[in-house]
Structure 1
Amino acid sequence: MALTISELSLVEQRVANDGPSTGVAYLLWFFLGWISAHRFYLGRPATAILQILSYFILIGFIWL
C-alpha cells in the first residue's frame, strides 16, 4: 500500500516538527550553558561531557 502525496507531506511535517526547538536550545545555552544543557538537549552527549570537562580543566588552570 503506497502513501498518497498528502499523506507523505503530513509525515514530513510531523518529522520536522518533532525535532528539538532552536529557541529552547538557545534558552538552555543562555541559562544553563555552563553545564552544557543545550548540547544534551540537542542529542550530543559526547560533546556535552567534553565541554563540561574542559570547563573544569580551564577553571583548574586559572585557580592555580
Structure 2
Amino acid sequence: MNLLEEQVYTNGTNHQRSLVLAYVLWFFLGQLGIHRFYTGRVGSGIAQLLLGVIGYLTAWILIGWLFLFILWIWWFIDIFLIPGMCREPR
C-alpha cells in the first residue's frame, strides 16, 4: 500500500470512484458533463453543461452546432480520460 492509499484509508474515507458508473454516466448523460461532476471535475463539468445547453437551445439558428461540435469532440476524448479521472483523488 503506497502512502496515498494509506492516507485515504486512515481518514476513514475511500475516494475511489467506480469506473463502470463513470462510463455509464458518460454514455447517457455525458453531453451534460455529469460524468465530470461525478469524478470531481466541477469546473469542466459546468463548461460541458453550458456547451450542451447553449448548443441544443441555439441549434435551430445554426450557431449551436458549433457549440455541439466542440462538446462532442470533448465528449469523445473523455472516453480515454475517464480511467485517470477515477483513479486520481479529488
How many residues align structurally? 55
Q: Is there any run of 5+ residues in structure 1 with no aligned partner, and where?
A: 1-8
Moved more, 32-41 or 46-55: 32-41
Match of 1:21 among 12, 18, 22: 18
- Match of 2:40, SS state, is coil
- Shift of the alpha carbon at 1:58? 2.0
Match of 2:50 among 53, 57, 63: 53
Moved more, 32-41 or 45-54: 32-41
- Shift of the alpha carbon at 1:13? 6.7
- Shift of the alpha carbon at 1:39? 0.5
Counterpart-to-counterpart distance in 2, 1:21 and 1:55: 24
| 1:26-54, Cα deviation, whole Å (9 max, x unpaired) | 01111222322111100011101111111
What TM-score do you get using the length of structure 1 for normalisation? 0.63
Counterpart-to-counterpart distance in 2, 1:23 and 1:15: 21
Between structure 1 and structure 2, the one with the greater Rg is: 1
- Note the aligned Cα RMSD (angstroms): 2.6
- Match of 2:46, SS state, is helix
- Match of 1:33, SS state, is helix
